[in-house]
Amino acid sequence: MIPTISHWIGQEQAIRRFKVALEASWNDGTKLPHMLFYGCPGTGKTMLAHLAAKEMGVKIHERLAQVMNFPGTLNGLLMQAQDKDVIFLDEVHELVHPAQTVLYRAMEGQQISLRSNVNDTYNMPIKDVTIIGATTDEYHLLSPLRQRFKVVIPFSLYDVTSLAKIIDQRARLIGIDIHQDIAIQIAIRSRGTPRFAIRLLESCQRYARSKGEEIVTMQHFEETVDMDCIDELGLTLDDQRIINFLTIQPSKPVRLFTLEAATGIHRRTIQEVIEPFLIRMGLIERTPQGRVITEQGIRHVESTTQVETVSKATS
């Protein structure tokens, strides 16, 4: 966790919107408005929610939305929070529709509906809290709930320069000594997300410590990415298995179930984790008939194969 919002790197437009809302609340002495953060996993939505509470000097109540699907559970959380507290619901699109209805009514009317022993319903006021939702799928929310968020902030993928700065910052915060040129190499392989970058940085440190060394060198980095099967684009072993299979018949679309059977990777993992990155990198395309590898994808597989051949020949 970075100390303050002034230490944030990247996401300039998102942070600009957030600071406007934050400073307006400071000046007016009010709570933060309800906020919705959306974008790819690992881009900083959770960290910004925690910074929101920290900057306002209030308590944060963090919950994973999947465990809040009983209206009674959600009501209990809303009753527990105090004025200006932040209630952070991660993956808020996972709330079932009845729970989403409870939430948007509480956001609008600052009250919840409870059932008495005689099956009558009555309204109970709640404190004036801030709801922050984080999602990778904004339009899976009910429209009335989406409209109750006064500040909607998109999170995009990071460029290599910003990621390298984040890696340097993180290394200093947790006391990792790295050679200067390693940060940029980690950033190149980090798929545009700080979460992946920090995970790779920590993997490099573990490898260095396994050798009894304090400073992470380029050799440690190279051994780590080789051990973890991460190539120069940040493709993991599962990513590589998908594109390698698609090169068998490059012009023939492959169905999702065929990919699952051929690679042993669950179809949901392919569809929700692997495919978006490969499509974004221009390595595959998804057509109505199935998945096909692009010319860029073929060139990448060929170049990787050549590198492996040379490496084996020289070892």
How far apart CA 286 and CA 278 sit, in angstroms, is 10
Residues 6+ apart with CB under 8 A from 221: 182, 185, 186, 204
Whether 286 sits among the annotated catalytic residues: the reply is: no
Whether 165 sits among the annotated catalytic residues: the reply is: no
Q: Which of 195, 199, 267, 286 is catalytic?
A: 195
Encoded amino acid at 123, one letter: N
How far apart CA 77 and CA 269 sit, in angstroms, is 32
Whether 150 sits among the annotated catalytic residues: the reply is: no
Q: Which of 46, 135, 217, 224 is catalytic?
A: 46
Q: Are 100 and 135 in contact (CB under 8 A)?
A: no
- 261 sits in the region (left: phi over 0; alpha: psi -120 to 50; else beta) called alpha
Whether 83 sits among the annotated catalytic residues: the reply is: no
Q: Which of 84, 85, 90, 189 is catalytic?
A: 90
Encoded amino acid at 287, one letter: T
How many CA atoms are closer than 13 Å to the CA of 264, on its beta-carbon side? 4
Tokens of 140: 């899976």
Q: Which of 136, 236, 258, 263 is catalytic?
A: 136
Q: Which of 43, 45, 84, 85 is catalytic?
A: 45
Whether 146 sits among the annotated catalytic residues: the reply is: no
Judge residue 92's burial from the number of C-beta atoms within 10 Å of its C-beta, 0-12 exposed, 13-18 middle, 19 or more buried: buried
Query: Which active-site residues does the annotation give?
Result: 45-46, 90, 136, 195
